[in-house]
Amino acid sequence: MNRLIQRTFENRGYTQDFLREINVATYDALKDIDTLAVRLKEIHDEQIPITVFPDFDVDGISSGTLGFAGLSELGFKVNLYVPNPSDGYGITPDAVADLLLRFPDTKVIITCDTGISAYEAAEYCKSIGVELLITDHHTQEASINADIVVNPMRMDETYSHPRICGAFVLYQVLQYYADLYCNYFTQDQIRRLRVFAGIGTVSDTMPLLYENRQVVKDAILICRLVYGDGTPDSIVTMQGCDIYRRAFWGLYQAMKVCEDYGIIKSANDIDEDFFGFYLAPIFNSTKRMNGDMNKTFGVFFANDSYHDMEYLYQLNVKRKELVERECNAILEADQPYAPYIYFTTASPGVLGLLAMKLMTRTGMPTFVLRDDGKSADGNRYHGSGRSPEWFPCISNLSDVISIAGHEFAFGCGIANETSLERFFRVIKHDIPEAYNSAELQEPIPDFVIATDWSEDTGIDIGLFDEYLDELELYRPFGKDFPAPMVKFVFENKDVVEWKTIGKAKQHLKISFKNAFDVLCWNQGHLITQKDSFDKHVVMGHLGRSEYQGVMSVNFVGTFVEQ
């Protein structure tokens, strides 16, 4: 084992047994997955019209895509309902009514990545004789009057590793069905759809352990095979029904757009980071920017999938510009409840991103709210929040405000100004108390590079090359199995050149001997530290870059401001 990887695993306490265990991908059957498969067989054989109802984030888009493509390939009489983010999260009676307007012959609705809290919609479906089948992965808080529920987070579930995404839940349902009722060819057709479960796993930041690791590995491999050498040869020869093949054609076109904008240069650039840092923000831009969800699903099912993907790409560019402007406006305005609560007039879709950006600055739980006046749900203030792991907001605050989602990323509502004042008093007391009692530590690097060789290593290109090659064996990296975090320490005398790069000179590049560079994105302003301090620290990771056909090792990280 490369000694830097060995150092990383030793520091984390990773044993060989642990590394073997987290790569065991077998899993038990979800509760009632057999019941759902039997019911689906009846629906299939009787050709009862069924409509897929997905959520509108990347996990929901992945779920909806694999659900529509999978059920089509299995021979169901199936429709896909495209949700509207402006209607809010979840399946409601109004959403059911809208679905029935679009697809009036629907007799069965199957949800994906949503539905477990759709109590009113379930009752409404019962009253009008529409069967409701729920596949979801959010925590069940109370019983729901649905016909069948498959959910690793339902109250009576015993599934060993319940932190799987909504797309993976629906994939398991379809694969169970195919293994039970279909021939080997069809089983393989459905297995290929796990590519969308892997994309959903990364985008929804599920732990990259056990079956999640394998489905992400498979998704990366399938994407690389679909992309190939950049030509559509693998798609042209793909078998299956039209809807099924369109889903993979759309996946190919999504990667082609990323190629055309310089994100992908070869199939090797397609990995879990590509899913998390590029695909997820691009597809999430629709809900953030109140875009056209028909174009989002159009990437996979419409005739002009390339231009639909290009639309999403440009929408994401606008989203990044908007978040930067709105964050600056928040910081320039009077914020009497800072650093916990901030007010904005920004669109609802970017409130979570603003909360994340502000939380990164303060390190504190952060709520970004809009004053919407009177609204149908009885709340005057609506917003989103983000929180560090030492303060689980839903557990701590659900009796104070309306709050839903995940513990550390959620939506919230506050009834009126009196409730807002009470909420502020609570968090002004509880957050500092939780902060002081939490065992907070500075991030500990997995290993340290020092130009004077006083730490784990100096600049050793041969060692770094070996490290980067061997590191590929331990991918994918993500939640609960993060990529190595490296500390790089150097002095001014070691530097060959300091410079700012980028159109606006917003990035910082520091060059050393042996063609070794340190790149710090959006930190060009910190170049002045070279004149104020002699010793410097960058936290980040080793990587490779290609320039004019030459591959070199570099270090990408965050320059520590002094």
Question: Please, are residues 171 and 68 in contact by the beta-carbon 8 Å criterion?
Answer: no
Sheet-wide strand order for 507-512 = 447-450, 486-491, 535-547, 550-559, 516-520, 507-512, 497-501
**Residue 273: φ, ψ to 5°:** -70, -35
Strands 550-559 and 50-54: unpaired
Its sign, for the CA torsion 66, 67, 70, 72, is: negative
Q: Supply φ then ψ for residue 327, to 5 degrees.
A: -65, -45
Cα 434 to Cα 391: distance, rounded to the nearest angstrom? 7
Question: In whole angstroms, what is the distance from residue 237 CA to residue 224 CA?
Answer: 16
CA-closest candidate to residue 214, choices 468, 27, 14: 27
Strand partners, 557: 540
- Taking CA atoms, 494 is separated from 449, 455, 458, in Å, by 13, 16, 11
Q: Closest Cα to residue 539, out of 440, 441, 443?
A: 443
pTM for this one?
0.90
Kindly list the strands in the beta sheet with 409-414, ordered across the sheet, starting from the edge strand earlier in the chain.
Answer: 341-343, 366-371, 381-386, 409-414, 402-406
Distances in Å between the Cα of 240 and the Cα atoms of 190, 215, 282, 307, 351 are 10, 22, 28, 24, 41
Residue type, 416: N
Tally of CB atoms within 10 A around 53: 32
- The DSSP secondary-structure symbol of 53 reads E
| pLDDT, one tens digit for every residue, the chain (562 residues) | 999 999 999 999 999 999 999 999 999 999 999 999 999 999 999 999 999 999 999 999 999 999 999 999 999 999 999 998 877 778 999 999 999 999 999 999 999 999 999 999 999 999 999 999 999 999 898 999 999 999 999 999 999 999 999 999 999 999 999 999 999 999 999 999 999 999 999 999 999 999 999 999 999 999 999 999 999 988 989 999 999 999 999 999 999 999 999 999 999 999 999 999 999 999 999 988 889 999 999 999 999 999 999 999 999 999 999 998 999 999 999 999 999 999 999 988 899 999 999 998 888 999 999 999 877 778 999 999 999 989 999 999 999 999 987 788 899 999 999 999 999 999 999 999 998 887 766 678 999 999 999 999 999 999 999 999 999 999 999 999 999 999 999 999 999 999 999 888 989 999 998 889 999 998 998 999 999 999 999 999 999 987 777 788 999 999 988 8
Q: What is the DSSP letter of 457?
A: B
